Amino acid sequence: MPLFGALEAGGTKMVCAVGDEQGNILERISLPTRTPEETVPDMLDFYRGKNLAAMGIGCFGPVDLDRSSPTYGSILATPKLSWRNYPIVQRFEEALGLPVGFDTDVNAAALGEAVWGCTQAVENSIYITVGTGVGVGVIIGGKPYHGMSHPEAGHIFIDRHPDDPMEQGICPYHPNCLEGLASGPSIERRWGKKAQELSDRPEVWALEAFYVAQAVCNYMLTLAPERIILGGGVMHQEQMLPLVREEVRRQLGGYLQGRAIDDLESYIVPISLHDNQGVMGAVKLAMNALPA
C-alpha cells in the first residue's frame, strides 16, 4: 500500500507525518517553527528514505494557490517575516522528487474531517479554527474551495459588542475583524491573562461566544454549509460550544428554518479526529497529487 508524506505547517509548530490511503497516521513528529533555513532541512530529513508516493502540505497562510502564477506554492504576506515569499512547494518537490499537493492549513483540516471525520456524510461543510489566529476551511462539493484565492474568512468584519472593554481588535490590518476580536491572543490582550487561565470568568466566554456566533451566522447565511466544525485552542474551553449554539440561535432571530436549526447540537460540532484532522487532510492532498 502506498505511503504519503503529510505536513501541517503552522506558525508555531510543524507537524510531520506519514499516512496511508485510509488516513491512518503511522508516524508523526512535531518540530518548532523557526526560520525556513533552520526548519526545512529537519523536515526533509524526516520524509527522506520512507519510500513515499507523494507529499501533501496544509500551510499557514496566506498562500498562493493559483497554478498559473509564477509564485504558486509560496507563502505570501505572513507576519512571520522569514517565511514571507518562501516557495515551500517547490522546495519540497525539488528536495524529495515527489508530487506535492498544497492547500491552506484550514482547508486541509476541513478536508481531513470531510474524508475521514465528522463531515463525511455531507458535501458542503466548513471548519473554523479559533487559536493563535482564526481561519476557515471551506469544502464545497467534497473539495476544498478556491476562488480568486483561498477564503480568508477569519478576517470578516464583525460588529463590536458595545460593552467590549477592548477598544478595537488586534489585527494590524482591520480594526474590527473576527481574528482581531476573537483569537486567543485577542482574549489575552483584552483581559490581561492567557485564555486558558480565564476559565472561571463567564464574561470572557459570553463575549467570545458573541463574536464566534456572529461569524457562524454569517457563514450560514452566505454559504449554507450542511455542518460546521469548531476547532482550535480556544474551543478547548468546554463552555464555548453550548454558548456559541445559544448565541447563533439568538442572533439568527428565527430567520433560518429547518432540521439543522432545530438540532444545532449536530449542526455545530467539535473536531472528531483528535487534532489529526490537519495531517490527515494533508494525506488526502498528497493522494490527490498523484498523477491519475
Among 171, 195, 207, 220, binds Zn ion (CB under 5 A): 171
* Whether the Cβ atoms of residue 117 and residue 94 lie closer than 8 Å to each other: no
12 near ligand ADP, judged by CB under 6 A: yes
174 near Zn ion, judged by CB under 5 A: yes
289 near Zn ion, judged by CB under 5 A: no
User: Rounded distance, CA 262 to CA 272, Å?
Assistant: 22
* Whether the Cβ atoms of residue 271 and residue 112 lie closer than 8 Å to each other: no
Residue 39 or residue 129: which is nearer to ligand ADP going by CB? 129
Kindly indicate which of the ranges 72-80, 113-121, 192-200, 214-222 contains the residues binding ligand ADP, using the contact rule CB under 6 A. 192-200
Q: Can you read off the three cell numbers belonging to residue 65? A: 494557490
Among 35, 82, 196, 266, binds ligand ADP (CB under 6 A): 196
CB of 180 to Zn ion, least distance (A): 5
Residue 173 or residue 255: which is nearer to ligand ADP going by CB? 173
Residue 179 or residue 247: which is nearer to ligand ADP going by CB? 179
Partner in contact with 177, chosen from ligand ADP, Zn ion, none, beta carbon below 5 to 8 Å by kind: Zn ion
Among 184, 225, 243, 283, binds ligand ADP (CB under 6 A): 184
CB of 153 to Zn ion, least distance (A): 11
Q: Can you read off the three cell numbers belonging to residue 164? A: 467590549
Residue 52 or residue 131: which is nearer to ligand ADP going by CB? 131
195 near ligand ADP, judged by CB under 6 A: yes
Count other Cβ atoms within 10 Å, centred on residue 199: 13
Q: In angstroms, what is the C-alpha Rg of the chain?
A: 19
169 near ligand ADP, judged by CB under 6 A: no
User: Rounded distance, CA 19 to CA 26, Å?
Assistant: 5
Which residues of this chain interact with ligand ADP, rule CB under 6 A? 10-12, 129, 131-133, 184-185, 194-196, 232-234, 236-237
Which residues of this chain interact with Zn ion, rule CB under 5 A? 155, 171, 173-174, 177
